[in-house]
Amino acid sequence: MAERWIRILHALGSLDPGGVEMWLLNVLRHIDRDRFQLDFCTFGSQPGLHAGEAEKLGSKILRCPKGSNPWEFRSRFRRVLREGGYDVVHSHVHLFSGAILRWANAEDVPVRIAHSHTSRDDKPNTLARRCYRRLMRSWIDRYATHGLAASQPVAAQLFGEDWRTDKRFQVLHCGIDLHPFEGPITRAEVRAELGIPADATVVGHVGRFVPAKNHHFLLEIAREISTKRPDIHFLLVGDGPLRAEIEARAAAMGFNGNMHFAGNRNDVPRLMRGGMDVFVFPSLWEGLPVTLIEAQAAGLPCVVSDMVTDEASVLPGKSTRLSPSAKSGEWAASALDSLNRGKLKEESTALAIGRTDFSVDRSASFLSELYVGVVGP
């Protein structure tokens, strides 16, 4: 074991399933845990479904619910910093990172990282919100020693259009673990588990049930597809505040036996490989969706919103991009056309992604070099 660990505190809402959360878990699995102690401070009412797994890997889960009193929250968080003796605070809470890093600076944490994962602040554009955005960005600019972003549009959203001129800020593409895309998989077994016929054609989607993912429009696309191919099934993976509403809407539209809601899963690559034939992703906005990288690694043809940055098209020419304002019939036609072209060979797609920034080994190496470079060996 190294003479001393570099102690890093990741600040985030929770460790519930999501692109950022799964990426952090994968980094935790692949980083040298003899050199780095990665702990997680969660601000939600619950630590999240993956908190236990992080603890098994040696992390501490430090609960610090925001609550309704910001002064009490600040005191609790600063106490976490004092008691932990952290070398690095790595914040993943977008604009609120300004406050997190300000408090970390007050507790003499030497390295303070603001990490941006979304291209849009979806709160109403009120006067109070505009003032909040201005204040938080000014604090990030003042207190961040480093800034990371999942993509170029995401960097511009949090750090400003001139972010490239500031050496503190850079893009770090969130990489995926490619091991789940290796080896054989039993398609019939996966589909039996989901209640899908083994020989059915399946249109898939993975994402939280939140406005950004555009599930209402996804149902319109599914209806258009069903008018031409009533034999097709639909598999939606994920959970979130809008799930009950979307399930009720799907039932009202007549989707019963062929619309499958799988909920939160920790085996998304397996479901993609064995349970899907095409991936449809009509998001209204995104940072850089990890699930889209996984879909490409699984060899799925993808029909993707053009609101997703081009950086996410890791396999050039293998995805169809459409505006979320295009008609549902156009999306349906593209999905059916993609089905006719068929899946790509997983061996070649996973290998190609492994040569890019989108491997979790690259993510872990990047962060290791960053932490050591700014803290010291």
What is the pLDDT, as a whole number, of residue 317?
79
For residue 165, give its domain range: 6-175+359-375
Q: Quick check: is 370 in a domain? A: yes
- Residue 12 host element (H or E): strand 6-12
State whether 122 and 142 are in the same domain.
yes
State whether 314 and 199 are in the same domain.
yes
CA separation for the pair 362, 79 (Å, rounded): 33
Q: Quick check: is 279 in a domain? A: yes
State whether 169 and 22 are in the same domain.
yes
The structure tokens listed for 101 are 């890093």
Residues in the chain predicted with pLDDT less than 70, given as ranges, are 1-4, 376-377
User: Over the stretch 189-231, which tens digit does the pLDDT of each residue have?
Assistant: 999 999 999 999 999 999 999 999 999 999 999 999 999 999 9
* Cα angle 114-120-126, degrees, rounded to a multiple of 5: 105
Count Cβ neighbours within 10 Å for each residue of 298-328 and write b for 16 or more, e otherwise.
Answer: bbbbbbbbebbbebbbbbeebbbbbebeeeb
State whether 191 and 107 are in the same domain.
no
State whether 309 and 207 are in the same domain.
yes
* Cα angle 339-340-341, degrees, rounded to a multiple of 5: 90
State whether 81 and 171 are in the same domain.
yes
Q: Quick check: is 1 in a domain? A: no
Provide the 10 A C-beta neighbour count for residue 124: 7
Could you report how far apart the first and last alpha carbons of the chain are, in Å? Answer: 13
State whether 188 and 303 are in the same domain.
yes
Looking from the CA of 375 toward its CB, the CA atoms found within 13 Å total: 22
What is the pLDDT, as a whole number, of residue 377?
60
State whether 148 and 207 are in the same domain.
no
Give backbone dihedrals phi and psi of 204, rounded to 5 degrees, phi first.
Answer: -120, 160
State whether 289 and 228 are in the same domain.
yes
State whether 194 and 130 are in the same domain.
no
Residue 44, domain CATH: 3.40.50.2000
State whether 185 and 148 are in the same domain.
no
Q: At what angle do helices 243-252 and 215-228 cross, to 10 degrees?
A: 30
User: Over the stretch 159-188, which tens digit does the pLDDT of each residue have?
Assistant: 999 999 999 999 999 999 999 998 899 999
Q: How many domains does the chain have?
A: 2
State whether 347 and 371 are in the same domain.
no
What is the pLDDT, as a whole number, of residue 345?
85
* Bridge-based pairing state of the strands 169-171 and 88-91: unpaired
